Amino acid sequence: MTAPPLTTPESLLPPARLPLAARLPLLGLYPAKYRATYGEEIATVFAETVQDLGPGTALREWAALAAHAGRLRTRLSSADPAGRITAGAAPFILAGGAGLSMVQLLVGLILPDPLRRIEQWGHPAIWTALVVAQTGPWILALIFASLGRWTPARLLVLLGILGRIGAMLAFTTPNDPLADVLPYDLLLPFGILPGTVLLIAPADAVDISPHGRGETVLTALALAVPMSVLAIFWFRPDLSPTIAPFSRTEVNLLDVTVAWPAAVMSLAMLLHLGARRPDRPRATGIALAVLPWTAMLPPASYYLLAPPGLWAQVISYFLLRNAGVVLAFLATATLLAALRHALHRSLPTDPPETT
C-alpha cells in the first residue's frame, strides 16, 4: 500500500485553476496513522471545497485544516486530555485578561500618573494609544466571546498580545528605572504565556453555550469591578524620597490583588469539580487559568521605594507570596470538592418503593 500524497491531488482540479492553498503541504502535517486512515478523504474533500473559492477563502480553509493537523500532532485536539484542559482554561484566561484590562484602562486613562509617563511621551495621545493597544483587544475579545464568536475573539487576543509586547518595548526605554519589572506583565492573564494557551485551545471544545458565555462574562466583571474600586482607593500620588515603607493596610491590599482573582476562579473550579458529575478537565483548566495571577506584582510606582539593587529581592518576595496565596485557594477548592463527593457517597440511598 502506497502512502497518500502530501498535498491535494492535482488530478482533482485543472492545473490552471489550482488555487495556491491546494498546492501547500497539508496531508504531511497530519500524524502518519491518521493520514493513512483519512488522508485520501481529506485531500478529496479539500480539493472539491477550494476549487470555486477565492484565494483568501481557500487559504483560510487550508489554515483550518493545518491547525487541526497541528493539534493532532501535539495532542491538543478536543479528543485529547491536554486539549480539553486548555479548552477549559481558555474562557477563564479571557475573563482574567479582559477584567485586568478594564482595570488597566481605568488606571492608565483616568487616574493620575505618579510617574509622569504621559509627559515622557510628549503628547497624551501617544500614551492613550499605548494603553488602548494593550487593553482594548482583550475587552473586545470578551464582547465577541459573549456573543458566541470565538474565532474573532481569538484573533483579538492575538492582537492584544502583540499590542502588549509592542507597548512593553515602548515603555522599556534606556532611562526607564522600571525596565526590570515590566517583563513580568507578559506572565499576567493578558500576557503572552496565558494568551498562547488560549490561542492553542481547540475551538470545538471551548464552552460557548449560553451558560458558558455567561460564566465567562460574570467572571470578568467579578474581577474587574472590585479591583477597579481597589485601584481607585489604593492610588498613591506622593513619591517623595521621604515616603514611608508599606503600611500594614497596603500590604493587605497587595494580597487582595492576588487573593480576590484566585478566590473567584477557585470558586468556579469548585463548582465544576464538585458537581455530581465532575468535569475534571475543565476544572484543571480553570486551575491553570489561576496560575498567571502569581505574577500580579505591586504597582510599578512602589518599586521606587526600594533601591534598584533590591528590586530583584522585592520581586522574588512577592512572587513567592503570591504563589502561596494562589495555591492555597486551589488546594482549598480541591479539598472541598473531595469532601463533597465523599459526603455524597456516604449518604444512604433511598430503598426502592414497594407496592
> Average pLDDT for consecutive 10-residue bins of the chain (355 residues)?
47 46 68 80 78 74 79 81 92 93 82 53 70 89 94 92 80 59 70 88 90 94 89 57 48 72 93 89 93 79 63 78 91 93 75 57
DSSP state of 350: P
What pLDDT was estimated at residue 266?
Answer: 93
Cell of residue 136, nine digits: 482594548
Alpha carbons 275 and 262: distance in angstroms, whole number? 20
Residue found under cell 440511598: 349
2's grid cell: 502506497
Q: Within the chain, how many helices (H) and strands (E) appear?
A: 12, 0
> In 3D, which of 73, 65, 69 has the Cα closest to residue 44?
65
The pLDDT score that the predictor gives to residue 117 is 53
**pLDDT score recorded for residue 16:** 42
Give the separation between CA 293 and CA 139, rounded to whole angstroms. 18
For 179-195, the pLDDT digits (tens) are: 666 666 677 777 888 88
Residue 93: per-residue pLDDT: 94
Helix-helix angle 150-171:124-146, to 10 degrees: 160
Q: Which residue has the cell 477550494?
A: 50
Q: What's residue 57's pLDDT? A: 77
The CA–CA distances, whole Å, from 157 to 76, 152, 160, 161, 164 equal 19, 9, 5, 6, 10
pTM: 0.79
What does each C-alpha distance from 149 to 146, 154, 170, 209 come to in angstroms? 7, 9, 31, 11
296-342 residue pLDDT tens: 877 655 656 666 667 677 778 888 888 998 999 999 999 999 998 88
Burial of 305 (0-12, 13-18, 19+ CB in 10 A): middle
DSSP string, 124-172: HHHHHHHHHHHHHHHHHHHHHHHTT-HHHHHHHHHHHHHHHHHHHHHH-
